[in-house]
Structure 1
């Protein structure tokens, strides 16, 4: 965080303390807002959680939980319904992603620079605006998946692809779906037999789980690669938008940044992937499947993005709790 967010050690510790408090406040604030809830985010400037609401009569109850409030027009339910309608449209290659942004109180659609006048892009945006409140933003390039040919934490190999381990679960680990299909055989970092993909989904989703054996055992640890102490995993509370977050992967190792958006749809060349979280953490090929963690709380597995760790970029991850629920897995925690 000192390197990637430009913070002093004292500032980093203060921010982590504020984020931990926001994690605890968010579910209570969401309940207090009820149907008026319109999204929430961590404000690094104030060190507090901000909750958007559509009913001014709900502001007192939300503030009583310890959150700040902002009055907006559209509820989270309405914005999410609009996003789902846009999901069904089918996007051209010039559209990189779309997501609900609670701070803009709109569905934001990312259009690759230079593609704004493309007829297919313009037609998509016209249909998207019919679905609900839409804001268009320019993005530098379309995201791609981050698998790499053989030449997260720790690396693993399937076929001629190298990816990264996400998090240990009882019986194996979770990772990205584009790294392997059910039945694909996995080798560990040392080339030895490791396990088998038991479940995998991509596109639509980008998650998978691998059962392990052959002398491999699971531990509740994310590698810091000598740049920071290895992190114990103690749970999977979801970090709000605006919170700091770090990523571990087998190519670029340890990097940190901020949660920028949730429930985003990413339009890869292989097809759209839904319910993703966007960050400004960099990543490169081979980091796919690796760990995203906030403090000691597991957040998700690396999917893809644009840019690199020399010039920066955006990276998306698939939230870990969705993966655990999909396959009935239990996170290995300390």
Structure 2
């Protein structure tokens, strides 16, 4: 197998990124009520995620979301009403909090927003810590658009939804970087590889952002190299932002691991759902390794269409985080320190200097939709930790376990509808495409391992992150 192909299969697993940079973990605000509950047990995030899945099933319509209290290492579960199911939930080791809004209430509010306020530059997601839908508007939402959005949110009631302004502009992160490339009329498209998978027919493949797959059909591991992979399926906009790209050579080695830079390799063992409050790591070809927390689930992002100046590209079902990202990071992997695949980078606002919001496509959803499986021993659409793990998780808690990995647990996002950008930038629209072309040519030689040194990033390791 040619060296170039081997490089994209091995080094590319983690978005073929830069030197590792691990930021101090952000301390998400914790609900004061979560400090009570004498029966609550200390949990690792993977076990907290599994316990949340179990309680969601047992509580049924009374379940109103959950989040991980990273400070106390506890799972907080929202419940509407009382009864035997709630009593059993309290005895499971979770902190059970009584709230006003049910999951159905919050989903209804999101549908109202979709109907009345699908305005480019807006996004919303459920925040279980406040038991509300948090609505965000970027700098482009002004005048009549702002008035319309504000009126819609006010109509939902202050106890159901909250409106906030966010800096910058929601956009996809398709331009720049040096992970995977495609040559299109007008310039090059550049994205990041997310996770290696096995397609339903048994062939080696990888997942990346849907707007990357829509932007271009064939992909290479260098700006001027021959294609080594071809898009098999792509979803964007709509119900997700993901692509399944098959390697052209069926003998390509596609190990299930993330190359986090600086000699760090994280074995990817399974796919897992995101948990609000948990710490996750993002690897991208432009900015390397960064971490942050999951801040919302089932996010909807509305982006100005790149193909229709008066249109909007809406993407649903994403994970919202405070992890930074920049152009070129699109499609890159969101994962946990313990080896759970959580999401694929989609879009957002801000950058890794000022910070911002980034949305990710849940890996579990992408796997279920494409029929692919993670690696040789990974799971398709299953949650990361199984019920078995969660059972003992209540006690395993002891301080040591969670130390490094605690919050990686995961999220899947939310990624961003911004992805529409893919289509525009692919055609060379936007400076990104031009820049990437130049940068790519300069860096397009040798393996992705060598290119990591050219990116921004520090030298911190994944260990000791929590």
Map of 2:318 onto structure 1? 276
Give the secondary-structure state (helix, strand or coil) at the position aligned to 2:44.
helix
Picking from 114, 124, 131, the partner of 1:105 is: 131
- Check the 8 A contact 1:234/1:333 in 2, yes or no: no
TM-aligned CA distance change 1:183 to 1:155, over 3 Å: closer
Q: Does structure 1 conserve the Cα–Cα contact (< 8 Å) formed by 2:117 and 2:148? A: no
Select the structure that is richer in helix.
2
Q: 1:234 corresponds to which residue? A: 269
Q: 1:119 aligns with which of 144, 163, 171?
A: 144
What SS class does the counterpart of residue 110 from structure 1 fall into? Answer: strand
Partner of 2:58: 32
Note closer, same or farther for the CA distance 1:189–1:68 as it changes in structure 2 (3 Å cut): farther
**Structure 2 residue corresponding to 1:177, chosen from 210, 220, 225:** 210
1:18 pairs with 2:44: yes
Cα separation, partners in 2 of 1:268 and 1:115, compared to 1, 3 Å? closer
Moved more, 296-305 or 134-143: 134-143
1:256 aligns with 2:291: yes
Q: Which residue of 2 aligns with 1:315?
A: 358
> Residues 85-108 of structure 1, C-alpha deviation per residue, up to 9 Å, x if partnerless?
322335333x43111111221211
Which deviations, in whole Å up to 9, do the C-alpha atoms of 1:240-287 show, x marking residues without a partner? 100010011111111111111110111222212111101111111111
8 Å CA contact retained: 1:232, 1:333: no
Higher RCO, 1 vs 2 (CA within 8 Å, ≥6 residues apart) = 2
CA separation in 1, counterparts of 2:55 and 2:318?
23
- How far 1:181 sits from its partner (Å)? 2.5
- Taking the aligned partners of 2:55 and 2:376, their CA distance within structure 1 comes to 27
C-alpha contact (below 8 Å) 1:245/1:258 kept by paired residues: yes
TM-score, with structure 2 as normaliser? 0.64
Q: 1:114 to 1:326 in 2, by over 3 A?
A: closer
Q: Quote how far apart the aligned CAs of 1:2 are.
A: 9.2
CA drift of 1:327 comes to 1.3
Please report how far the alpha carbon of residue 129 of structure 1 lies from its aligned counterpart in structure 2 after TM superposition: 4.5
CA distance in 2, matches of 1:310, 1:128: 31
In 2, are the aligned partners of 1:182 and 1:197 still within 8 Å (CA)? Answer: no
Task: Report if aligned partners of 1:158, 1:179 keep a CA contact under 8 Å in 2.
Answer: no
**Do the aligned residues in 2 keep the contact of 1:29 with 1:67 (CA within 8 Å)?**
no
Instruction: Return 5+ residue gaps in structure 2 as ranges.
Output: 1-19, 27-41, 199-203, 306-312, 378-466
Look up the match of 1:194: 228
Partner of 1:208: 243
SS at match of 1:313: coil
Q: Which moved more, 1:265-274 or 1:292-301?
A: 265-274
Residue number in structure 2 paired with 1:223 = 259
Question: In the TM superposition, what whole-angstrom CA distance separates every residue of 1:10-38 from its partner, at most 9, and x where no partner exists?
Answer: xxxxxx96212212211122123221110
How do 1:119-138 and structure 2 match up within 5 A?
A: 119-130=144-155, 133-138=160-165
CA contact 2:66–2:78 (8 Å) conserved in 1: yes
SS class of match (2:360)? strand
Out of 76, 82, 94, the position equivalent to 1:50 is: 76
CA-based RMSD? 2.4
Of the three residues 24, 29, 47, the one matched with 1:5 is 24
CA shift, 1:43, in A, is: 0.5
Gaps of 5+ in 1: 8-15
State the TM-score, normalizing by the size of structure 1: 0.88
Q: Helix, strand or coil: the match of 1:259?
A: strand
- Residue 158 of structure 1 is aligned with which of 179, 182, 191? 182
What is the alpha-carbon distance in structure 2 between the residues aligned to residue 146 and residue 224 of structure 1?
Answer: 19
Take 1:216 and 1:85, find their aligned partners in 2: how far apart are those partners?
Answer: 47
**Residues 63 and 97 from structure 1, CA distance in 2 versus in 1: closer, same or farther, beyond 3 angstroms?**
same
Greater percentage in strand: 1
Q: Distance in 2 between matches of 1:281 and 1:209?
A: 24
Change over 3 Å in CA distance of 1:69–1:333 after alignment to 2: farther
User: Does the aligned pair in 2 maintain the 1:96–1:142 contact within 8 Å?
Assistant: no
1:333–1:40 CA distance, 2 compared to 1 (3 A): farther
Larger Rg: 2
Counterpart-to-counterpart distance in 2, 1:99 and 1:269: 19
Distance 2:80 2:22 in 1: 38
